[in-house]
Chain A
Amino acid sequence: MADPIQAVPTPGSGAHAHGGESHIASDPHHVHVVPMKILVGVFALLLVLTVLTVAVTMVDFGRTANVWLALGIAVAKAAAVALYFMHLRWDSPFNGLILISALFFVALFIGVVVLDAKEYYINYQPPITQSPQ
């Protein structure tokens, strides 16, 4: 839950403080412009990580290790995109909360189902087919 006060818009003051067109043209303080430096930096980082993720598959760290490594890199890339390209870093924290909770529920879903996945084929037997001889 976002902090009530923060979440309550104050429309009166809104229209009050800078009513009409005038303020619109002037700098909109609710906007954060991402510096070019950061954009380029993030872009470079993403490219590097892409190369890295391909590279690590060439090396064998053991099956599970490789999976987690690949996922780790993917998470890092995703975080970079979300924080900087998607402005989350400067955005209202509640939007971040939405993303986090969405990921939490995805994790919950996958977690529980995969936790139980072993049950499914633990006693699997191939369908027996005829032997034409």
Chain B
Amino acid sequence: MAVYAPAPGAATHEPHPRGDNYLTHSRGIMSWLFSLDHKRIGIMYMMGILASFFVGGVFAVLLRTELLTPGPTFSSSREAAWNFYNHTFTLHGAVMVFLFIIPAIPAILGNFVLPIMLGAKDVAFPRLNLLSLWCWFGGAIFFSYVLLGGILVAAGLDPKYVPGGFGLDTGWTFYTPYSTARATDGTIAALLGVFVLGFSSILTGVNFIATIHMLRPRGMTWFRMPLFLWALYGTAVIQLLATPVLAITGLLLLAERLLGIGIFDPALGGDPILYQHFFWFYSHPAVYIMILPAMGVISEVISAHSRKHIFGYNFIAYSSIAIALLSFLVWGHHMFASGQSPLANAVFSLFTFSVAIPSAIKVFNWVSTMYKGDIRFTTPMICAMSFLVLFTFGGLTGLFLGALSNNIHVRGTYFIVAHFHYVMVGSVLFAFLAGMYHWWPKMFGRMTNIFWGNVGAITLLIGFNLTFFIQFIAGSLGMPRRYATYPEHFTIYHQISTIGSYVMAAGLILLFLNLLHSLLRGKAAPANPWGANTLDWHCASPPPHDNFPVEPVAGDPYDMKAWKWDEPTQQWVLDEDRAKTVAGTEPTIHHH
């Protein structure tokens, strides 16, 4: 509660000499774990989230390997192999969704960048921010427990020594009655984890909304906000309105499983379809919790690295909000075959298509932004262009699934697997990487190696398409998903896909090694390595502890001309006069 009016006396680290940055201004592990500095919290999020990304990735490679042949790959007995596969794909999904994709961009980049971009000293409620970080770790601990238990039991430990259950074989969707009546007890721990993670997400949302509303400095009108902030705002709205429903769903599922309350479990008169409504009311908007911030990142990166004013600012901004709101009207399209009434199906199908339009608007605007630009093929730009490719394809294949009659044929097959990987993984992952490479110099004051970064990105792009494009074909031929074994004639698809996954892994390893290398050997980064004009590039890299010694004055965030390339120093320098003229005046971008 204290967060509303932070009382004095909460000092967590020593006073420090001036002129240093947020990384160095205080030392000791405690100064991190209890830091109220949004930048440090962002960095801590980064460590945790990247770790869980690694775990999820390992699961992905394992399950692709299991599918290399129709028969069992890792173990001699079919039963053991199927069991292994079911647990693997479930944990891959659960870890990737709840621990990686949902928090990735808002929690890491959002926390680090939002206040700086906005020109604020911190988020509105720093303690709430820290609490949400702890919640994330709390949830992560539950999942680690499930994971560990699963490994131990697989290694031959007697399950009775794993209180609260081991492993998870429900699929990340926890569909009843399987999750309530059949699945391993790991479900319980996992649900608790999801519940706690939900809080982390909600608190972040509260914080971002309050920050964007209350902490905008002079000149930062709504329509001078960088598009990344618009995207984060839309995301926060979804986090606020959808996540609580996930929380209550989790609670009811737990009660169903432990007490048998008979709300979801048909054996007790419950209704499994009701569960699906509950689940998707959160989990569809959750897809936009993933993609909206990604879109925001892309807007920043494309404009900055094309050295070009973003095209159609207002349309991109409004489309973010439109997507956020429409995302609540489409959850039923996950249930077209479940026995939902045809009326509901029709309505949900219609709204589903309506979401396609703002997405299309964004894509066209991004491409037009490149027109007459001065494009640099930096790693962020390569990632952003990959995003455009994958998002266009992922988005358009959504049309197959939105169309009722086609949905009936391809739902529950590899077609849908491919589709949501193109959108949730391809697009979001590449946007995430673009953002990481874009703001890395700001975070750590080190440049990354462009060549190896690009090599990694392109490898990843190739590997990704190798893995998932083929799955569209397999799916349209009727290869059901979540199959541990499959009919002979699908073997070739699975083998290509598996090889692709290895290539992906290679690309990712390259990309992260490159980041690591820049930490150790990278050359020092100037305040504004890209010549972008959003406020985050107006402060030093890495930023000082409280971001802006003097409160910045916001101008047109995409006015690239405000920065001139200075040959002697080999740096972008601010054109003071131009900055002045723009600052304080109404931005020109939105009257046309």
Contact = CB atoms under 8 A, between A and B. Distances in A.
A/B contact in complex, CB under 8 angstroms: yes
Interface in B208-222: 213-218, 220-222
B32 to A, nearest CB: 29
A113 to B, nearest CB: 5
A9 B328 contact: no
A113 B274 contact: yes
Given A8-B216, A9-B214, A11-B217, A119 B551 contact: no
Interface string A95-133: 000000110010011001101101111000000000000
A12 B221 CA distance: 15
Given A9-B214, A120-B271, A4 B221 contact: yes
Contact of B213 (A11, A94, A102): A94
Contacts of A115: 341, 344
B327 to A, nearest CB: 11
B262 to A, nearest CB: 13
Given A2-B213, A94-B213, A112 B218 contact: no
Contact of A113 (B218, B277, B328, B551): B277
B281 interface: yes
A12 B218 contact: yes
Nearest to A8: B216
B332 interface: yes
Given A112-B332, A119-B341, 8 more contacts: A4-B222, A5-B221, A94-B213, A108-B328, A112-B344, A113-B274, A116-B344, A119-B344
Q: How large is the interface on B (under 10, 10 to 19, 20 to 34, 35 or more residues)?
A: 20 to 34
Contacts of B328: 105, 108
A101 B213 CA distance: 17
B483 interface: no
A113 B259 CA distance: 24
Contacts of B551: 11-12
Contacts of A24: none
Nearest to A113: B277
B22 interface: no
B245 A9 contact: no
B156 interface: no
A9 B241 contact: no
B281 A109 contact: yes
A1 B341 contact: no
Nearest to A92: B213
Nearest 9 Cβ contacts at the A-B interface: A4-B222, A119-B341, A113-B277, A4-B221, A120-B271, A116-B344, A105-B241, A116-B341, A109-B281
A8 B219 CA distance: 9
A101 to B, nearest CB: 7
B223 interface: yes
A7 interface: yes
Contact of B340 (A8, A10, A94, A119): A119
Contact of A9 (B215, B273, B332): B215
A4 B223 contact: yes
20 contacts: A1-B222, A4-B222, A4-B223, A7-B216, A8-B220, A9-B216, A10-B218, A11-B217, A105-B241, A108-B329, A109-B281, A112-B277, A112-B332, A113-B277, A115-B341, A116-B277, A116-B341, A116-B344, A118-B341, A119-B340
